[in-house]
A and B are shown apart, each in its own frame.
Chain A
């Protein structure tokens, strides 16, 4: 038997209370992530993938969110049953996040420096020279002239630079697991590629596990070890990335993969997904 996985999610259900009664956003999903491994959770908006990602450190506002069943074991500890103080140690220190909208995810009234410093002071109190640590991480994520840039306010940076700053902030706490929730969706295509390259490079360097949440199968190739495909609150397909990409079993996965525009392939029109057929199956 190998070591227990870094993250072990078992039969996780997430429910939201609404005006029209409870709504099941996630209907019992299970997956694992080992140390240094990269898992992609793929699905369209509303499939429950972001909700799943946020639940890993209970970031969903509660109420309305509830966890009627399931376990989220991080290093063997159940996140759902953690006292608040322990949970805050895990947040940032064990599991760090980067989000979809870098422009709104950084606090507009504080400098990049103060926002990163806050994270470092919290999780690595032994670091003496916080400023040079900030410079080191900003440099690592490819921000030019970091000693100067760190004194900028978020709105003084471009979208790509903001996302790099977010990544630097997440990494500066040296987490074991980075959750990247649609990290490139809000960015230009060229910037997207740069950010993904950056993540790939950092993953190799830091031996850190990553959960990449995306709706886009195209960005998974070469970055992820495993893929979980989510559809309407369920994981409909789960396995090694190569298998899922080359031999998709579930019709929804096939449909998603078919939607990737391929260079050189002759297609009259963009493929769309036939939902009616899917719900019947």
Chain B
């Protein structure tokens, strides 16, 4: 038995988990699809069809060999729109989480490092933000600044950093009191570099899990905003606004609702399951055996 580092241990546990493997595979597939269709849209390759080409003669057609997922009320190919929507939806997820991580780590570190009234004030602000009905707060802010991809990811990020801040702060507090930091301080060393050198490895796992779980939440939030008309604006397709466009035809054209919904559901589920598998793999207590 060779000795293994904690990271290798986590990886080995993750790899032996069937759900982890399956959800990671789905995520990789999604990322590849998003990347490919992003490149297509940049280079103007209309595969399988131009997502924005309207054809009123062929509107609201059910799935057929020509249009695998049917067409919408303007005769646009739903499959193309779903595929081209993938990179927007994923961008929303990743960028919003990046914004939330940046703020969360910053606030958490400041709070945990300074302590005292700074910590108290910041944590009370965190507590207050948590009281707000998140989706309503986001909707209000997006409506006020105007719905655009950039505004949406910033607003979602601005509202969803609280969990990360708490995690980072807790890690800081533990480390400040830990024996090795105390020992280093008693030798006259500055505690800050020590804390920073140790905080990332220690808090990395739970922060990473929060981030992975944050991605589908942001995707779902954008879909909800789209449904209400405050998501990424048409003609740019996102999974949310394809459904929103189709909502007037729900009784006649089920395919407009069903397929993009499945796309959201499967990708959100994959991220949730991967995040949970990661949490299981990185928790010190093994809970399943």
Contact = CB atoms under 8 A, between A and B. Distances in A.
Interface size class of B (residues with CB under 8 A): under 10
A20 B8 CA distance: 12
Given A19-B9, A20-B1, 7 more contacts: A17-B289, A19-B12, A19-B13, A19-B286, A21-B1, A63-B289, A64-B289
9 contacts: A17-B289, A19-B9, A19-B12, A19-B13, A19-B286, A20-B1, A21-B1, A63-B289, A64-B289
Interface of A: 17, 19-21, 63-64
Nearest to B1: A20
Nearest to B16: A19
A64 B9 CA distance: 18
Contacts, number: 9
Contacts of A64: 289
Nearest to A64: B289
Contacts of A21: 1
Nearest to A21: B1
Contacts of B286: 19
Contacts of A17: 289
A15 to B, nearest CB: 13
Nearest to B288: A63
A15 B242 CA distance: 57
Contacts of B1: 20-21
B49 to A, nearest CB: 50
Nearest to B286: A19
A21 B286 CA distance: 14
A17 B288 CA distance: 12
A17 B12 CA distance: 15
B12 to A, nearest CB: 7
A19 B8 CA distance: 12
Interface string B153-173: 000000000000000000000
Interface string B248-287: 0000000000000000000000000000000000000010
Contacts of B13: 19
B108 to A, nearest CB: 31
B287 to A, nearest CB: 11
Most B-side CB within 10 Å, residue of A19, A63, A64: A19
A170 B289 CA distance: 29
Contacts of B9: 19
A21 B12 CA distance: 13
B140 to A, nearest CB: 42
B11 to A, nearest CB: 12
A17 B286 CA distance: 12
